[in-house]
A and B are shown apart, each in its own frame.
Chain A
Amino acid sequence: MTSPCHDAGGGGILTADATSVALVGNPNVGKSTLFNALTGARQSVMNAPGTTVELHVGTWRDAGLQVVDLPGTYSLVPRTPDEEVVRDTLDARPGTPALVVVDATALSRSLYLLAQTGAARPVAVAVTMLDVARSRGHAVDLDRLRAILGVPVVGVDPRAGAGLADLPDAVRGARPLTGVPDTRGLEPLEAADRVFSWVDDVVTRLDPPAPAPVSRSDRVDRALLNPWLGGPVFLAAMWALFELTTTVAAPVMGLVDGLVVAVADAARAGLAGAPSWVTGLLVDGVLVGVGTVLTFLPLLAIIYVALALLEDSGYLARAAVLADRLMRVVGLDGRAMLPIVIGFGCNVPAVAATQTLPTARQRLLTGMLVPWTSCAARLPVYVLLAGAFFPEHAGTAIFGMYVLSLVLVVGGGLVLRRTLFRDVRREPLLIVLPAYQRPHLRGIARSVWARVHSFATRAGSIIVVTLTLVWVLMAVPAPGAGADAGAPAVEDSLYGAVAHGVAPAFAPAGFDDWHFSAALLTGFVAKEVAVGALAQSYAVADDSPAGLGEHLRATLDASSGGHAAAAALAFMVFVLAYTPCLATAAEEWRRFGARWTLRMVAIQLSVAWLVAVAVFQVGSRLGGAA
């Protein structure tokens, strides 16, 4: 379930004061787990007004309230767009109560945010991580904390469901904190000092904690963050993620694909008496679109589970530390390494994996770089062209595509940081590491379901509509084409006319031929069908690469003026750099909105064209004739 943006003010998310509650807390304190436990499946995802920051809104039946899960923040003095959303949303509804999630292992840090939140609004407190704090010798006395703060305080374990039954009463009894210093008009550092004086007083009255003993997490970190061992373990984790998107997901996707084909065949048989255009529209248009969406669902579910396991276990924050130096080159958090690696398997879950990044701008920047990671679906195109044009050096040519992919990611990141993303600051590494924990499968299942459902409904509808439109373009003859019964040949359809129309744009890249432009149009829908589209346009079987290779060489020889190899290389480069597929674009649309998605597509097409032209112009001058 998803909703579009609301009104211009942050208050659109929080409805009436008496019917909603804001969930506020530091990152990694179990806030989202608590949100999932309170709302179950009754939740939706929406963008905060005017931003790409996602907010989760759900119905908390036991309390009869709407809950808004605000992004994790350390402070209401914002440093990122996500934190601005927290401040603006709270400021817009000063009377709405907040349920502040306090981490028992980091009491000072949590109390600082509680003081900022509760100074002027009713608050109730949910204390998490009590077991971890206890195991580290920092047990928190909840009765004492309740007496000191003067607001409702409940100890909870959202993963096991403990304490949740007491929360409705706590929220109903929410009230503003007393004794918090007034910091209005003070500079941020001075204000922080005043608030910390109050925090220190609370912590001291609670019993100052004893020195932290070496914990189990510390011992695990001795290995996983070890300068020599940490890197190989991290690479192994990234390799496992990549394998999930390819080796593990492929058979499941194939199974779903087979089911879709079987359903399509049955539908065709069932519609035997119907006009051919009805069968075509329903089966080859709508059903194929639905099938494409269904095929992606297992892959997304697998990746979402893997990401949730990494996040829940506490390893994701360590991965950010290990990859920080590498990703800092393009000004990104170390966590950006995950979507980039996943992208080499499939771009769709890679865009989805940007959710692990801490700020909306970083998610957007990474989302713009992911399409330049060379996904597995592009490989058949490389194999076909490299085999046909560079038979002696096919492996080198394909390897070169992967090297170029990395160059595009790094170069694209550097250019974007200096243009559209100047505001993404090179932040020092400063990450709070959660304790290692055993992942909670029920919570993971809930969040995976919510995310897969969101993809199926939001991105899925875009895919189905676009694929149906493509079918219509292929089924309708172009003006002036013969009006024979049945579907026209691709060349004679409106689709073919469009391919003919755009082909001249590729003249500087040496492949201004409708066969190739039609393959690129089809490749926009899905790269894995581009080879089939080329074969179909020459009316040869796509399992006969030798025959197809001869056609391709003849076509490119003619279009490039005898520099077929350079033109083939330019085409491969274009396939690498332009929009990966409709599903990726739809996922970007879902996460970043229409404006950014269209901007991304325009950038990808421009970069693809420029690089392809450069490759052809240089290649043909170096004597790249086939």
Chain B
Amino acid sequence: MHLADCPLDTDVTVLAVDPDCSACLRMCEIGLRVGSCVRVTQRGPAGTRVVAVGASRVALDAQTAARIRVAWDPAPVGAAT
């Protein structure tokens, strides 16, 4: 499942970030990295997603959200491997 397909308000864990994405490192730097527990809090216009990463919120466009593979996980938000 990709972040773009996630239902609202459900905790998921990031499994992989498309390494070909030009913003891969930046995504890591702002907390969207393998092992992070995140949650989609809002679906915006044109497929935009707002994601809770720890206590902060990050907005992503639909294409970027589709590059992040996630899995259901009840682990606490912000925990990382």
Residues of A whose CB lies within 8 Å of any CB of B are 74-75, 77, 79, 103-109, 112, 132-133, 136-138, 188-189, 192-193, 196, 200, 203, 208-212, 214, 217-218, 221-222, 225-227, 230-231, 317, 321-322, 324-325, 425, 427-433, 435
- Whether the Cβ atoms of B45 and A230 lie closer than 8 Å is yes
Chain B residue, CB-CB nearest to A227: B45
Does chain A have a CB within 8 A of B43?
yes
- Whether the Cβ atoms of B23 and A211 lie closer than 8 Å is no
Q: Which residues of B contact A211 (CB under 8 A)?
A: 11, 37, 39, 76-77
- Whether the Cβ atoms of B22 and A212 lie closer than 8 Å is no
Known: A189-B24, A189-B28. A107 touches B54 (CB 8 A): yes
Interchain CA distance A377-B69 in the complex, whole Å: 52
Chain B min CB distance to A510 (Å): 44
Q: Which residues of A contact B25 (CB under 8 A)?
A: 75, 77, 79, 188-189, 192
Chain B min CB distance to A228 (Å): 8
- Whether the Cβ atoms of B78 and A225 lie closer than 8 Å is no
Chain B residue, CB-CB nearest to A137: B55
Residues B25-81 near A (CB distance < 8 A): 25-31, 33, 37, 39, 41-46, 48, 50, 52-61, 63-64, 76-81
- Whether the Cβ atoms of A430 and B78 lie closer than 8 Å is no
What is the predominant secondary structure among interface residues of chain B facing chain A?
mixed
Q: Which residues of A contact B50 (CB under 8 A)?
A: 218, 221, 225, 321, 433
- Whether the Cβ atoms of B45 and A429 lie closer than 8 Å is no
12 residue pairs bridging A and B, Cβ less than 8 Å apart = A106-B55, A108-B78, A137-B55, A138-B54, A203-B78, A211-B11, A218-B57, A225-B59, A227-B43, A231-B45, A321-B59, A433-B59
- Whether the Cβ atoms of A322 and B60 lie closer than 8 Å is no
A-B residue pairs, 9 tightest by C-beta: A429-B61, A106-B56, A105-B55, A138-B55, A428-B64, A225-B44, A433-B57, A209-B78, A136-B55
Q: Which residues of A contact B53 (CB under 8 A)?
A: 106
Q: Number of contact residues on B: which range applies?
A: 35 or more
Known: A133-B55, A218-B42, A427-B22. A196 touches B80 (CB 8 A): yes
Q: Which residues of B contact A192 (CB under 8 A)?
A: 25, 28-29
Residues B1-34 near A (CB distance < 8 A): 9, 11, 21-31, 33
Interchain CA distance A203-B76 in the complex, whole Å: 13
Chain B min CB distance to A220 (Å): 10
Chain B residue, CB-CB nearest to A188: B25
- Whether the Cβ atoms of B44 and A432 lie closer than 8 Å is no
Chain B min CB distance to A430 (Å): 6
Chain A min CB distance to B71 (Å): 16
Q: Which residues of A contact B54 (CB under 8 A)?
A: 105-108, 138, 209, 212
Chain B min CB distance to A104 (Å): 8
Chain B residue, CB-CB nearest to A431: B59
Interchain CA distance A74-B33 in the complex, whole Å: 14
Q: Which of B26, B55, B60 has the most CB of A within 10 A?
A: B55
Q: Which residues of B contact A138 (CB under 8 A)?
A: 54-55
Partner of A74, one of B22, B26, B48, B80: B26
